[in-house]
Amino acid sequence: MEKEKRTKEKSSRQRKKRNERKTYIKDEAVKETDVANSSEYKDIVPVSDKIGDNALQCVRSICRKGLRPILKDFSSVRKFLPPKMTTIMFDRYPAKNRYTDVMCLDKTRVILKDRPKNNDYIHANWVNLSNNKRYICTQGPLDETIEDFWWMIFKEEVQAIVMLCDFIEDGESKCAEYYPLTAGEKVQYGGITVKNEKDGENLESIICQIISVRLDDDTHRVYHYRWSTWPDRSSPRSGALLVTLLMKLKTLQEKGPITVHCSAGIGRTGTFCAVDHAISRLNEDGIVSPPDIVKEIRRQRLHSVQSVLQYLFIHICLIEYLQSVKSLPQDSFTRRFRRDYEKYLKKFTERLARDKQQTSNPA
């Protein structure tokens, strides 16, 4: 009884806190003047020579142009909304949404299987990419939606969960602790038993664990990758780790969908999917249009890729990928592009820190 009472009190406090923090999306200003002058992966399958040459030319062209055109691209991309979109189910179940302004599209929403119609909603969308890759992009689970989350994982036979946030960031709850963190530990969520079977092979700062999900007499196992050092609304300095993780997921992705989430499930999550989609386009066609890539993701998962820095990071990952498979040279244009990106990253991070300080210490 005492444990149940504490659980109810915790849920009540979190609901109150969430109601105080209603929105997520911020209109990130694109300050072009902030940037001066614009500016061993064993599992990677090399692209063909012809497509590879085209891909090299494509990325070289991006580097030569510098950051300024990319910043301008994002100023229009971030306003993109799919035509004739509806969010009826999102509006109908506000208690299951982490943020009031991060909407869930009806057209691509994940419908919880074997549930009555009045209980089949979860804030998650299917995102279908090239080469039959299927992602489920979702918000970080709330205490009230943990059972729904694992029901989705079990019923859709998800092969891996990629967690791109920490449970607490800057003192703010970003995601419920929805699985047992210690190997051998298990937790019951409604009729579902979730057990941390064992530790997997970590990828630098990314923690890998194997989780079993039991419902009735059936058990499904899923890989869980927790990347908790990717900052909210921002991006890593290098794209190498993301490219490595994508290659690690390739075999699993052939067996079933991958679930990706951060807090809102649109910024870091959308960027992750956009990088994978962009790499696939390079491999298939030898050319890629990042604005079109992001729009295609947004048609399926609304608001994807939140900040200009996340948009720039997509380009950095393309450079990392091509340098690993096609020996993209470190010429003056590539070096300048990286240098300008790092400079923008520093300014962006400093600006976010100032904004947070002003918010926590209002005049």
So which residues are the catalytic ones? Answer: 262
DSSP letter assigned to residue 336: H
- Distances in whole angstroms, Cα of residue 46 to Cα of each of 16, 49, 52, 96, 323: 51, 9, 8, 43, 11
Handedness of CA 76, 82, 88, 93 (dihedral sign): negative
Placement of tokens 């890998």 in the chain? 208
Which of helix, strand or coil describes residue 345?
Answer: helix
Yes or no: say if 154 and 125 are a contact pair by the CB < 8 Å rule. Answer: no
Q: Which residues pair with 215 in a beta bridge?
A: 192, 218
Closest CA to 160 of 94, 226, 231: 226
Yes or no: say if 266 and 306 are a contact pair by the CB < 8 Å rule. Answer: yes
Alpha carbons 347 and 111: distance in angstroms, whole number: 41
- Distances in whole angstroms, Cα of residue 273 to Cα of each of 82, 192, 282, 290, 335: 17, 28, 14, 12, 26
Q: Which residues pair with 222 in a beta bridge?
A: 211
Yes or no: say if 105 and 298 are a contact pair by the CB < 8 Å rule. Answer: no
Yes or no: say if 235 and 228 are a contact pair by the CB < 8 Å rule. Answer: no
Alpha carbons 89 and 302: distance in angstroms, whole number: 14
Written as one string, the DSSP assignment of 14-42 is: HHHHHHHS----------GGGSTT----T
Placement of tokens 């947004």 in the chain? 298
